[in-house]
Structure 1
Amino acid sequence: MALSGMRGLSVFISDIRNCQNKEQERLRVDKELGNVRTRFKNEKQGLSPYEKKKYVWKMLYIYMLGYDVDFGHMEAVSLISAPKYPEKQVGYIVTSCLLNENHDFLRLAINTVRNDIIGRNETFQCLALTMVGNIGGREFAESLAPDVQKLLLSSSARPLVRKKAALCLLRLYRKNPDVVNVDGWADRMAQLLDERDLGVLTSSTSLLVALVANNHEAYWSCLPKCVKILERLARNQDVPQEYTYYGIPSPWLQVKAMRALQYFPTIEDPNTRRSLFEVLQRILMGTDVVKNVNKNNASHAVLFEALALVMHLDAEKEMMSQCVALLGKFIAVREPNIRYLGLENMTRMLMVTDVQEIIKRHQAQIITSLKDPDISIRRRALDLLYGMCDVSNAKDIVEELLQYLSTAEFAMREELSLKAAILAEKFAPDLSWYVDVILQLIDKAGDFVSDDIWFRVVQFVTNNEDLQSYAAIKAREYLDKPAIHETMVKVSAYLLGEFGHLLSRRPGCSPKELFSIIHEKLPAVSTSTIPILLSTYAKILMHTQPPDPELQSQIWAILSKYESCIDVEIQQRAAEYLSLSRKGAALMDILSEMPKFPERQSSLIRKAEDTEVDTAEQSALKLRAQQQVSTALVVTDQRPANGTPFAGQLTLVKVPSMSSNTDVSSADQGLSQTNGVLTTVDPEPPSADLLGDLLGPLAIEGPPPSDNVESRQNIVSGLEGDNAGDASAIVPVDDPQSSVEPIGNTAERFMALCLKDSGVLYEDPHIQIGIKADWRLYQGRLVLFLGNKNTTPLVSVQAVILPPSHLKIELSLVPDTIPPRAQVQCPLEVVNLRPSRDVAVLDFSYKFGNNMANVKLRLPAVLNKFLQPIMVSAEEFFPQWRSLSGPPLKLQEVVRGVRPLSLLEMTNLFNSFRLMVCPGLDPNPNNLVASTTYYSESTQAMLCLVRIETDPADRTQLRMTLASGDPALTFELKEFIKEQLVSIPIAQRAPSPQVPPAPPAAQPTRPAAALSDPGAMLAGLL
């Protein structure tokens, strides 16, 4: 029987591997799922534990292939309580994979898991600890943490069990720090660090790192124990062979111990400090680059952690010099990973005093790294050169950066230009050299030179009379080039307009010649440059005394031409300059030289101080922080003691939305694989749906259902102040005091409502909140349907709207009590004031029995709700497109990391967000053109035009150009569309973080090796 059952699983795995295409595989999986469902349904009472095991294995295999398995969870959980190891093992493994920490079925297994943990069977203990460590969750933490702690401290438990107990407690602590009592645990933690078994010691040190990261004050007694661990490993005392990796005693434990020491601010005891520095000295002396890659990886992990600890402890200069010398060897080797690590750590060393002179000795090698084929190494070399620059080496470094600018890729040129300009300003030996550098910078990288850079050189020249003739001469030389960047035209025209008269005796610099060479550039410049050229013409005319009739007539003709220009600024300048130029001698006073600029801090240096250097360490910290935050809005609500919301005390905090479990970007939720429409599945059966009348008619003009219309409160009016002005796309965090878990994914429900106008916004065991909306131009009317699902009333009901500053929202009075099995309707009026991607939040709370629930829900009053798709013809499109000539009204960006979409899928995506794709406007069949009309109270109707240029050879990148008559709208809509294009489809996300993601549905692949195949993994477990 057993053999035939397992043969059935093996045959099923073989059938899947032999499928020729994705459709065959799907049919075979559906057939097997139907068979398993039938057996569970018809023979539920008669299935033996063995038969359950067989079918649950098949479910797990199907799930690992990437298919949804929405049944059989109860059968998997029930196997946990089986008395035999094979069935119990299956129960624990499948439960770990299929269920997450919030699943209701896990509550059924808590007692069984606890019995296995406190039992005497070590195998069952290991299974239970592994599952709890994988799933985590607050409920597990509260119920099982005391038993896990006892097991960890037990002297009778085997090291294998204690090791798993330490890692399990670490996971529970991360989920709920309250499970570890600081007062009682510090001594126990120090006791664990005396453990002789390295496996238990390594796991305990991982736990220590998490503990001291939150509160190092309580664990000072552990500091000398960590130093003793490092001494033991450095001397290779009592280290078993199985914990020696390529001759390095337990490198993982060394790294963890040094990481823990970095959380303590200092080491007071001189003996402990001396012992630690001896260990660090031994590590520094004993690390070198060898040919064995694995040994290099382990030894360098230990070394770089030791370097971080040396910098943290602010060691003596001799040891710092030794560290820099060692890093100098690393940046000279051929292996790119080692060079990268050397440059990264040398950049961190710059934060320590008295090592800059030592690092300068390696300047030539660092400059060589600036030309490395690997862009990440070039970035680190640029950061290091920027940090080590001072007056003594500024010329050499800036010249190298300018030389490198000609060959640098576009991704680095803007950063490179900014850093070169800052270094030239901060460390210029003389101002003429500074002018040379900035003009070279503009010449070589004009597109990537910000206006701040050429504004700054104009300030320097204006404020220093000795520099004016030199700057004018250099500007005149650059104008002789056949092709120069528009930014160079701006700065040259300005300088010659102000100071060109100082060159009147030089050949080729007469007013007529200066005008002629500047005017040659006029046809090629954009609208934003023409006002500068007109000012230059007026200045030249002013400095030409007595007037040259021929030059005067030429300039007057140009000014007369631009008097009728559509651009208001150009028109005004032309008219005023023409009128002023006819006043004769009075022109000299009106158009005299600009006065000196007031001395103030450079905007470039201020920008550099405000901008973080993108080091690898900071990038990793940002990523870790993003992975720990929730999806939508973080709202910090400081309320008075009486609980009354006070708008003036509300703080809105912007955070990234990259949560591993609930993060859903805008386009994820809105698209199915074919038609771009999201359909949500209600987790409750139809009989429990209290929002059936959502599909009924809703008139935006209709009165609210409340009898007392006059009593409606504008709760949000106080948020129009300073605090609301800085609100960004915020996201709610779960209230730790709430004892009610939501049903379904709240973020997915929100994203579905961004695409449609009615549906369920939130649901938990007691209440269901639905929305129906009607949007007209810049106004919207939403109705909140609050449905009580229970036979007892919900009391203390409160709802407060926390709006961003661009929305004006009025919510009618919400009743304090919702009767049993009843539904309450609360109208909500929305007015859109201006473009923004920020989201309003509904702060909703109620009480059921002794349970208090509080949730913060994003309302789907989002940017695309105020769009109205419009079809435009070529005759309407191209004049509008040409009239919006450049930033900030027209913005262009190359978007990388786009999820691959066919043109049809991309068209559906645009249409779902109310952007009308207009076929035939772009002759290139790989491009899309779309149009829409945006409505707000401030802008009324505003036409928006979008052009998408795709690359058929690489669907993961495209170029997007967006234009409208409002700079804020252009930017916000561009960012909104970009978020949809780079988001991860729901269908391709693994439902649980413990399971590898499924292969893409469009490109089924068979595993090349048995180790990567779920079937082979299951066969090994069988």
Structure 2
Amino acid sequence: MALSGMRGLSVFISDIRNCQNKEQERLRVDKELGNLRTRFKNEKGLTHYEKKKYVWKMLYIYMLGYDVDFGHMEAVSLISAPKYPEKQVGYIVTSCLLNENHDFLRLAINTVRNDIIGRNETFQCLALTLVGNIGGREFAESLAPDVQKLLISSSVRPLVRKKAALCLLRLYRKNPDVVNVDGWADRMAQLLDERDLGVLTSSMSLLVALVANNHDAYWSSLPKCVRILERLIRNQDVPQEYTYYGIPSPWIQVKTMRALQYFPTIEDPNTRRSLFEVLQRILMGTDVVKNVNKNNASHAVLFEALALVMHLDAEKEMMSQCIALLGKFIAVREPNIRYLGLENMTRMLMVTEVQEIIKRHQAQIITSLKDPDISIRRRALDLLYGMCDVSNAKDIVEELLQYLSTADFAMREELSLKAAILAEKFAPDLSWYVDVILQLIDKAGDFVSDDIWFRVVQFVTNNEDLQPYAALKARSYLDKPAIHETMVKVSAYILGEYGHLLARRPGCSPKEIFIIINEKLPTVSTSTIPILLSTYAKILMHSQPPDKELQSQIWAIFSKYEGCIDSEIQQRAVEYHALSRKGAALMDILAEMPKFPERQSSLIKKAEDSEADTAEQSAIKLRTQQQASNALVVTDQLPANGPQPVGQLGIVKVPSMSITDDNTSEQEVTRENGILTVIDSQPPSTASPDLLGDLLGPLAIEGPSVTTHQPEPSVASDLQSGIRADALAIEPVEELANNVQPIGDIAERFHALIVKDSGVLYEDPYIQIGIKAEWRAHQGRFLLYLGNKNIAPLLSVQAMILPPSHLQIELSLVPETIPPRAQVQCPVEVINLRPSRDLAVLDFSYKFGTHVQVNVKLRLPALLNKFLQPIQLSAEEFFPQWRSLSGPPLKLQEVVRGVRPMPLAEMTNLFNSLRVMVCPGLDPNANNLVASTTFYSESTRAMLCLMRIETDPADRSQLRMTIASGDPVLTSELKEFIKEQLVHIPIPSTPMPPQTQPVSSPTTAMSDPGDLLAGLLN
């Protein structure tokens, strides 16, 4: 009987393997599922053995990727079977098909407990494995005491005890209260005396979880952890089966050193000495070999040892040895080892007195900046930034400037910011600082924020000796035929204030300076025009008595902009025009900017503040925050004095004098052209480095609605009633609005995700929302990546998906707060009920600080094509199906105009990216395409879809499209979807004739009676 039962499963598996295509497989599976349903309806007559063989088939069907929404009760009931074969099937299938929240699991708790406390070791192992995989809070409350007894029992075999340790770890993660700290600490220490390495490995995993939450209770385990490491490193009593490529149990070594890092620095001299001897052996015995598996194991142990060395604040000699070893790693050919070497050397910077040792490897680190792998280049940049000081700043900044010209666009913003910080922090003299910032603007203007050149203005204004040099350098850059707009801003401002100091130099008279600046006027945006108008007014002021020709030219420009629609430009033009007629009095009205109070750059201050937070501390904080949410939170682990995003490091926005009122936040009073203006001292954040750039590509949609709350300036009424609209000449107009605008085109991002499964859905200066999806049949699962780009948290985070009626969507809990520089992953489950082109919408909102509230509605790319599965059909398979689908509504045809002109190869790629398979050779006309795909939904199940595209080589902007399927709604929806993709980008061509004109045939092939395929397809 057993042979006949298993033979049935073997025959079914053979039938599945012999299916010629997916449709045949689906039909065979559906037939088997129908048989199983019929059998399970007569459950009272089924024996345990019969249930077993049917449940085996059910599991195999589930493993093939098909939904199995029945038979769960039969699988659970097998857990109570008296014989091992039936009980084994019950445990395995229950573990695979059910999750911890399934109601059926409650029915099995008593049976599982009886197996755990029973004397049959095989049944104990089955029960412990089930609980270790899918046990939830109810299992934890009911079974934890029994599992603990098994674990500490000396009469139980190691095979059962190691499963009990992992089972208890699962229960502890679900409910920490099940492990009583007072009663368990001593028993945990006793477990570390275990000689069996299998039990010891599982127990060490449990210890890591326990000490991560409360290390104080487990001090007695610390010396035993050190003894375990000594035993392994000396290879004492380590069985061969636990030796991996000559390394004694690298898994226990890594777990033990990780557990030790949760304890504070070890004070006991004997324990500390023993541990350092172990670490010394690891450092001395690790090298790069050709065997990849051995490398992976030895490096896993080594890098955990390095982390422990830093945690213990080892002696300088050992730190030097660590750095020397890492120096070898960053010079090898294997990219993974180079990456790990750079990353760990960056972490070493957190330890005092090692920077001088790391500097010995500066040349090799600079070489890594040119590595083909962008991840390695980023780590090299982080390390150079962290190791920079006064002694090597000049060399490092010059290397960064040289690298800037060839660096990836994804890195240029970060490069620019770091070079600016280093130049300001370690400048040997201010003229060098000015040179660096101007070179930075010249080479990477698009990636240099306005905050950086505002800071240059402060330095130049506060240092009279620097003013002629800065003006001369700014003048030299204006001679270039094409310069970035930011260079125009800084040059115009500096020459407006200090250009008169160059009057005796050739090419630097007021008229010549005006001419060279005015040449740039037609090329700049509206935010730069006010700065140029201020510069023209300053030039007039410094050319007293005035040059009549120069005066008339400048007045003409003022007159031109007096009617400008932009209120800022208009007001400046009107007032400067009026003020410039006051002659010598202009010198008093437009006097030079006063010196600014000396204060630390906010950019440097925030960079230094971030050094207090180590990667380990950030991880611990985030673990605490993660417990309240199902979402996964990941930090971007930065070196202690590593880079910060642009948005965090806002340099002082404008040269200013700071005043403080008792009832208000700090404001800045700025004097420009004799006018005092109050502005907020905290500028809005700008775009930060891409958090997700290594993982996701381009994508997003509807723009954000933004609510901003500006604090009322508490200053004298004469200041408020002055002329706030005048603002500063160097203050861009849009900066004052504090509006949050999306970065990139949201619609373009959405269209990119139609053909891709990962990308950026939305991005603004504060957050980046990415998506990564996978689709199978009529189900889908994707992760929403919510990345906070700033050093302040995002508050009141809310996300809700508004699904159309044809989609069933479930979004996991989204945390209300996203920590600084963290990324939250929110899983989303999707089920397609029927064919439709309607879109799901993500309604997302958050707050940043007290001033900004953003709400966006984003289309989600859960489109019709995501539930397609391309299928390749031969002529023998295609034509019978095509003939059987005759005429509307199952077969629809339409002449489509306004198509993006594209060659057939490009159109083939488009269809393939939409999950539609082009079948070559089926149409003898080389200008036509024939394609097929399978659509999945709960209502249609697997539905074959066929299509023919007939193009006109003389006019690629039109084609005839025929779509056929067995469902009229699917045919109509698929036809409209394909049409949308073909015409979604407008073509720059002459208008198409109106629809009332006679429709001509798109191709001669369509009307050619000799077309061999016409009779078969039409």
Please, what TM-score do these two structures have when normalized by structure 2?
0.65
- 2:10 is equivalent to residue 10 of structure 1: yes
Once the two structures are TM-superposed, the CA of residue 44 in structure 1 deviates from its matched residue by 1.1
Cα separation, 2, equivalents of 1:302 and 1:670: 34
User: Is 1:356 aligned with 2:355?
Assistant: yes
Give the Cα–Cα distance (whole angstroms) in 2 for the partners of residues 444 and 16 of structure 1: 62
Q: What is the identity, as a one-letter code, of the residue corresponding to 2:427?
A: A
In the other structure, the counterpart of 2:29 is: 29
Distance (Å, rounded) in 1 between the aligned partners of 2:771 and 2:79: 35
1:922-961 equivalences under 5 Å are none
Q: 1:670 touches 1:751 (CA, 8 Å); kept in 2?
A: no
> For 1:341-740, what aligned pairs fall within 5 Å after superposition?
341-609=340-608, 630=629, 728-730=795-797
Give how far 1:803 is off.
14
Q: d(CA) in 2 for partners of 1:489 and 1:760?
A: 51
CA distance 1:837–1:397, change in 2 (3 Å): same
Matched to 1:271, the amino acid is N
Q: Flag the 1:727–1:267 CA change in 2: closer, same or farther, 3 A.
A: closer
Cα deviation for residue 622 of structure 1 reads 9.5
Aligned amino acid, residue 4 of structure 2: S
Question: Offset of 1:581 from its aligned partner?
Answer: 1.0
CA deviation profile, 1:460-496 (whole Å, cap 9, x unmatched): 1111111111111111111111111111111111111
Structure 1 pair 677–122 and aligned structure 2 pair: CA distance change class (3 A)? closer
Closer, same or farther: CA 557–673 of 1 in aligned 2, 3 Å? farther
CA offsets 1:733-769 (integer angstroms, 9 cap, x no match) = xxxxxxxxxxxxxx9xx635x658999999xxxxxxx
* Structure 1 Cα separation of the partners of residues 911 and 609 of structure 2: 39
Determine if contact 1:245/1:251 at 8 Å carries over to the other structure. Answer: yes
- How far apart, in 1, do the equivalents of 2:817 and 2:223 lie? 52
Aligned residue-pair number: 714
Q: CA deviation at 1:620?
A: 8.3
Structure 1 residues 757 and 51, CA gap change in structure 2 (3 angstroms): closer
Alpha-carbon shift at residue 141 of structure 1 (Å): 0.4
Structure 1 position 727, deviation (Å): 7.5
Match of 2:304 in 1: 305
* Residue 467 to residue 14, structure 1, CA distance change in 2 (3 Å): farther
CA drift of 1:89 comes to 1.1
For 2:211 and 2:163, the matched residues in 1 are separated by 20
Q: What secondary structure sits across from 2:154 in the alignment? A: coil
Letter in 2 for 1:555: I
| Deviation digits for residues 391-441 of structure 1 (CA, Å, limit 9, x no counterpart) | 000000000111111111011111111011000000000000000100111
| Equivalent position of 2:169 in the other structure | 170
Match of 2:204 in 1: 205
Cα separation, 1, equivalents of 2:772 and 2:258: 40
- Aligned 8 A contact 1:563 1:571 in 2: yes
Residue of structure 1 equivalent to 2:837: none
Tell me the CA shift for residue 337 of structure 1: 1.0
Aligned equivalents of 2:623, 2:202: Cα separation in 1: 21
8 Å contact kept, 2:797–2:845: no
Match of 2:148 in 1: 149
Partners in 2 of 1:379 and 1:5 — Cα distance? 59
Partner SS state of residue 362, structure 1 = helix
- Contact in 2 for aligned 1:899/1:955 (Cα 8 Å): no
| 1:612 Cα deviation from its structure 2 partner | 8.1
C-alpha RMSD of the superposition:
4.1
For 1:540, the aligned partner's letter is I
Deviation at 1:335, TM superposition (A): 1.0
TM-superposed deviation, 1:10: 3.0
SS in 2 for 1:514: helix
Whether the aligned pair in 2 keeps the contact of 1:418 and 1:604 (CA below 8 Å) is no
Instruction: Give the Cα separation in 2 of the matches to 1:761 and 1:339.
Output: 41
TM-score (norm 1): 0.64
Contact 1:224–1:272 (Cα < 8 Å) also in 2: yes
Q: Which amino acid aligns with 2:234?
A: R
Measured at CA, do residues 618 and 227 of structure 1 come closer, stay the same or move farther in structure 2, by a change above 3 Å?
Answer: closer
Find the aligned partners of 1:546 and 1:24 in 2 and give their Cα distance.
95
In structure 1, the residue corresponding to 2:54 is in which secondary structure?
Answer: helix
Change (3 A) 1:513 1:614: farther
Higher RCO (C-alpha 8 Å, min separation 6): 1
**1:67 aligns to what?**
66
Mapping for residues 914-925 of structure 1, pairs under 5 Å: none
Relative to structure 1, the CA distance from residue 141 to residue 446 in structure 2 (aligned partners, 3 Å threshold; closer, same or farther) is same
Opposite residue 503 of structure 1, the aligned amino acid is: L
The whole-number CA distance in structure 1 between the counterparts of 2:242 and 2:778 is 55
Would you say the 8 A contact 1:900–1:955 is kept in 2?
no
% identity of equivalent residues: 83
Question: Counterpart amino acid of 1:424?
Answer: A
Alpha-carbon offset, residue 123 of structure 1: 1.1
Task: Mark the CA change 1:137 to 1:393 in structure 2 (over 3 Å): closer, same or farther.
Answer: same
Secondary structure at the aligned position of 1:837 is classed as strand
Give me the whole-angstrom Cα distance separating, in 2, the residues matched to 1:615 and 1:22.
Answer: 53
**How far off is 1:333 after superposition?**
1.0
Aligned to 1:848: none
2:718 matched residue in structure 1: none
Q: For the Cα contact (< 8 Å) 2:844–2:856, is it kept in 1?
A: no
Q: How does 1:769-808 map to 2 (within 5 A)?
A: none
What corresponds to 2:279 in structure 1? 280
The residue number in structure 2 matching 1:837 is 845
8 Å CA contact 2:128–2:163 kept in 1: the answer is yes
Distance 1:522-1:618 versus aligned 2 partners, 3 A rule: farther
The aligned counterpart of 1:751 is 801
CA gap of 1:671–1:922, structure 2 versus 1, over 3 A, is farther
Deviation readout 1:249-306 (Å, 9 max, x if unpaired):
1111111111111111021211111111111111111111111111111111111111
**Cα shift readout 1:499-551 (whole Å, capped 9, x = no counterpart):** 11111111111111111111111111111111111111111111111111111
Mapping of residues 37-186 of structure 1, within 5 Å? 37-41=37-41, 43-186=42-185
TM-superposition CA deviations, 1:122-142 (whole Å, max 9, x none)? 111111111100012100001
**Residue segments in structure 1 that go unaligned for 5+ positions in a row:** 635-655, 659-663, 679-724, 732-746, 763-801, 805-834, 840-860, 870-897, 907-919, 927-950, 957-986, 989-998, 1003-1022
Whole-Å separation in 1 of the counterparts to 2:555 and 2:437: 33
Letter in 1 for 2:531: I
Shift in CA distance, 265/463, structure 1 to aligned 2, threshold 3 Å: same
Secondary structure in 1 matching 2:795: coil
Report the CA distance shift for 1:758/1:322 in structure 2 as closer, same or farther (over 3 A): closer
CA contact (8 A) 2:797 2:817 kept: no
Instruction: Spell out the pairing of 1:234-253 with structure 2 (5 A cutoff).
Output: 234-253=233-252
Asked if the contact 1:670–1:755 (Cα under 8 Å) also holds between the matched residues in 2, the reply is: no
Report the Cα offset of residue 6 of structure 1: 2.5
Partner of 1:294: 293
Give matches, 1:844-993, under 5 Å.
none
